[in-house]
Amino acid sequence: MSGDFSFEIAARDGAARQGAISTPRGVIRTPAFMPVGTAGTVKAMYPGEVRALGADVILGNTYHLMLRPGAERIASLGGLHAFMNWPHPILTDSGGFQVMSLAKLRKLDERGVVFQSHLDGARHELTPERAMEIQRLLGADIQMQLDECVRLPCSEPETERAMRLSLRWAARSKAAFGTQPGRAIFAIVQGGAARRLRIESARELVAMDFPGYAIGGLAVGEPQNVMLDLIETIAPHLPEERPRYLMGVGTPGDLIKSVERGVDMFDCVMPTRAGRHGMVFTRFGRINLRNARHADDPRPIDEQLSCVAARDYSRAYWHHLTKAGEILAMMALTAVNLAYYQDLMAGMREAIAKGRFEDFRDEVEEGWERGEKRER
């Protein structure tokens, strides 16, 4: 491998941006959706299938991989790319969110966080330096700073405390990242729902000069309008020439509205988790294939989608397999959702390049509205 990490914007349409992140392991076309491969796999999918559906990059997770099978073990086996047979770019989340949402008996201080594994209760410590060491051992192309995530709603004093700690951890994370040719570290803007804290966090992180910036601490149950308002608040304070990553988001509607506000990168478990439970996302909106109305429905899920499962099998068939708990349904419907998400991102990239993003947005949203009316 050779080359550097870089980001170039090729086209703009309003605040929406179309471009590319270049890494030694390949180009990430933006706006980009990253399928979540938390534990070294996008659930129910072979890596080659994920690639064939259009993914340029996937996400792995420091918290899960440090617990099982261990970063040092993965490194000894050639790194995460070789371990899971994904030779393309990988972004790793630093584990801050999982420590908040999954770990037991968490104790946090200036140094880092000590927690008990949700798997076996074993005690672990995660500091900014250790989070970066794990991500380096994994071989991640894009690595995230360690931050503290707070549960919303949260008091402003507690939110401010966590935001300022995350800023100090950002500086330590960047120092620990050091120099890794061809790789990058992204900072994470925190501050809950408080605009002044979000702006201060963004400004302080920009002053540290990171290669990319993420917006964290959203997609935790707040209404969509709150999330969008915060994106509009934060985006003007981030550098135009650096990628912007909205963490843990979201629905197809979230993606379109966030791209419209200048976001370049996304990840979310929603398409894979929903597929495993019989819910698919399509140009007709959401379709719950567990619903009895599909038991006698001979139509395909969506004959225009770039996925065999969506085109060549009936809704009645997938209803049957989903109700029967068949593994094939989980695999196939996961593929349907990943195909739809990647097709949606490709459609947005093309629309921005042609200067017709608003028309594209309206056409997609009208299709969802018509389809969901028909489903009711």
Radius of gyration of the CA atoms of the chain, in A: 20
> Is the predicted pLDDT of residue 375 greater than 90, yes or no?
no
Catalytic site positions: 93, 267
N-to-C CA span, the chain: 52
Instruction: For 208-239, write each residue's pLDDT tens digit.
Output: 999 999 999 987 767 899 999 999 999 999 99
pTM to 2 decimal places = 0.97
* Higher pLDDT pick, 1 / 101: 101
6-267, which class in CATH? alpha beta
What per-residue confidence (pLDDT) applies to 103?
A: 76
For residues 258 and 345, is the Cβ–Cβ distance under 8 A? no
| Domain ranges across the chain | 6-267, 275-375
**What three-state secondary structure class fits 30?**
strand
> Is the predicted pLDDT of residue 318 greater than 60, yes or no?
yes
Mean pLDDT, residues 97-114 taken together: 85
> Is the predicted pLDDT of residue 338 greater than 80, yes or no?
yes
CA distance 34 to 269: 10
What per-residue confidence (pLDDT) applies to 153?
A: 85
| Rounded-to-10 torsion of CA 82, 86, 92, 97 | -110
